[in-house]
Chains A and B, each alone.
Chain A
Amino acid sequence: MDLFTLMLLIPLVSGALLTVVGERAWAPNLNIVASLGTFLAAALLTVEIVANGPRFAFGEQFFIDSLNVFFVALTAFVGLTTSIFSSPYMKNEREHGRLSAGRLRLYKSMYQLFMFTMLAALTTNNLGILWVAMEAATLTTVLLVSLYRTPASLEAAWKYFILCGVGIAQALFGTILLYFAAERVLGETGNALLWTHLVEVKGSLEPTIMALSFIFLLVGYGTKVGLAPLHNWLPDAHAEGPTPVSAVLSGLLLNVALYAILRCKVLADGAIHSDFAGNLMMGFGLFTLLVAAFFLSRQRDIKRMFAYSSIEHMGLITFAFGMGGAVANFAGLLHMTMHSLTKSAIFFAVGHATQKIGTQQMDDIRGLMRVNPLIGWGLMLGTLAILGMPPFGVFASEFMILTHAMKHHPWATPVLLLALGVAFAAIFGKVQPMVFGETEAKRLPHAPAITPVFLHLGIVLMLGLWIPPYLTHWFHEAARMLGTP
Chain B
Amino acid sequence: MSSIPLSAQFINLFAAIILLLAFAMLAQRRVLQLIDLFALQGATLFLSTLTVALTTGQAHLYGSAALTLVLKAILLPWILHRLVRKLNIKGEVEPLINIPTTMLVGLVLVIIAFNVALPISQLAHTITRGTLGIALAVVMLAFLMMITRRKAITQVVGFLSMENGLFLAATSATYGMPMVVELGIALDVLVGAIILGVFFFQIRDQFDSLDIHHMEKLKDS
Contacts and interface: CB of A to CB of B under 8 A. Distances in A.
Contact of A128 (B119, B136, B181, B202): B181
A276 interface: no
B215 A154 contact: yes
B218 A132 contact: no
Interface residues of B, number: 49
A173 B152 contact: no
Interface string B114-138: 0010011001110000001000100
Size bin of chain A's contact surface: 35 or more
Interface string A143-171: 10010011110111111011001100100
**Chain A at the B interface: SS class:** helix
B202 A129 contact: no
Contacts of B203: 154, 158
Contact of B174 (A139, A158, A169, A176): A176
A209 B121 CA distance: 10
Interface string A129-142: 10110011001001
Contacts of B170: 176, 179
Contacts of B159: 162, 165-166, 169
B220 A154 contact: no
B220 A295 contact: yes
B212 interface: yes
Given A139-B192, A158-B212, A208-B119, A172 B166 contact: yes
Nearest to A149: B202
Given A139-B195, A188-B58, A193 B217 contact: no
A206 interface: yes
Nearest to A155: B215
B87 interface: no
Contacts of B58: 188
Given A129-B184, A146-B199, A209-B120, A162 B155 contact: yes
A169 B207 CA distance: 28
Nearest to B162: A169
B181 A126 contact: yes
A151 B217 contact: yes
A239 B184 CA distance: 31
B217 A152 contact: yes
Given A154-B203, A162-B159, A188-B58, A183 B174 contact: yes
Contacts of A190: 178-180
Interface of A: 61, 126, 128-129, 131-132, 135-136, 139, 142-143, 146, 149-152, 154-159, 161-162, 165-166, 169, 172-173, 175-177, 179-180, 183-184, 188, 190, 192-193, 206, 208-209, 212, 235-236, 239-240, 295, 298-300, 304
